Amino acid sequence: MVDRRGGVPEYLDVPEPEVNDGEVLLTVAAVAVENVDRAIVAGTHYTAAGFQEVLPAVPCFDGIGRLPDGTVVGFGGLRPPRGALAERVAVPAAHTVPIPDGVEPPVAAALSSAISAMCMQTAGGLSAGETVLVQGATGVAGRLAVQVARLLGAKRVVATGRDQAALEEVVALGADAVIDTTVDDERLVRAFREHAGDGYDVVVDYLWGRPAEMLTRALVPDSFAMPKSTRLVQIGESAGPDLRLAADALRTSGLEVYGAARNAVAMPAAHQQVVEWVRSGALTIPVTTMPLSRIAQAWTRTDLRGRRLVIVKG
């Protein structure tokens, strides 16, 4: 339970949830704590108003739970002040989906981190043999995006990040080249150009802000030659919500910008693909689990380094 904007969740006794018509009672098995959950609690996400208006409230809007008969399902459809970080939740039956055999609840809870990377195909139209730039590759979703790009047949993968040690780990995951975004503007623009090869076909952008702005500068040609298109898929904004976009970055660079929700009708198939990779072992989603009773300690951890925090029963 969170009682104030930007607060740390506390483990408290609350009344058993009432089950209304059309709802089912679930025992919560696993809930991933993602950047969007933290942003909603902090009041900085564009959907945060509903949560902030009804404080105190329970964070997180989806998770994995068990029906009374033991069936494991993914669930959503919760409205503040109700949230997923609880021992039991009542959710609309229409907002539950079975979890395939072979995917453990903590991993199932973190699937969305890998599914977001599939936007390079669903929104960005990635084809095998193309070059992918992952902006923000040292986070959980970014690391998975590097691996997803390889699984989708990318010819070349370039990754950016702020932590040199973490960037070295990303190379081990399949990146051909890495770019340190902490350098000054001129050097960052030059690095984007030097590592582009014959051009970035798809950019998976978890950062926005300054790194995206420097990329748009790097894409502007120095002649009247028209380069091939670069499809940038905007997913996150961990480096800032705004940037300055020069007119020539669109007029002459071939830059196309799409939101992650473009072609959302293709996401069910993308979800199934990720599940198949996880079940076969082709894709590993690293998680760190902690019990719900230690939610305050879990929420404030800063040492997860590429692993998704998942809260489990206990």
pLDDT in tens, 230-276: 999 999 999 999 999 988 888 888 899 999 999 989 989 999 999 99
Confidence at residue 15, expressed as pLDDT on a 0 to 100 scale:
87
DSSP code string of 22-76? TEEEEEEEEEEE-HHHHHHHHT-STTTHHHHHT-SB---S-EEEE-TT--EEEE-
| Structural domain spans, the chain | 23-110+285-312, 114-264
pLDDT in tens, 64-121: 999 999 999 999 989 899 999 999 999 999 999 999 888 999 999 999 889 999 999 9
Q: Is the pTM of this model over 0.85?
A: yes
Confidence at residue 171, expressed as pLDDT on a 0 to 100 scale:
96
- Which CATH number describes the domain made up of 23-110+285-312? 3.90.180.10
Tell me whether the CATH fold assigned to 23-110+285-312 matches the one assigned to 114-264. yes
Confidence at residue 101, expressed as pLDDT on a 0 to 100 scale:
87
SS3 percent helix, strand, coil of the chain, rounded to 5, is 35, 20, 45
Superfamily of domain covering 114-264: Medium-chain alcohol dehydrogenases, catalytic domain (3.90.180.10)
State the Cα–Cα distance between residues 220 and 216, nearest whole angstrom: 7
Confidence at residue 226, expressed as pLDDT on a 0 to 100 scale:
67
Confidence at residue 46, expressed as pLDDT on a 0 to 100 scale:
87
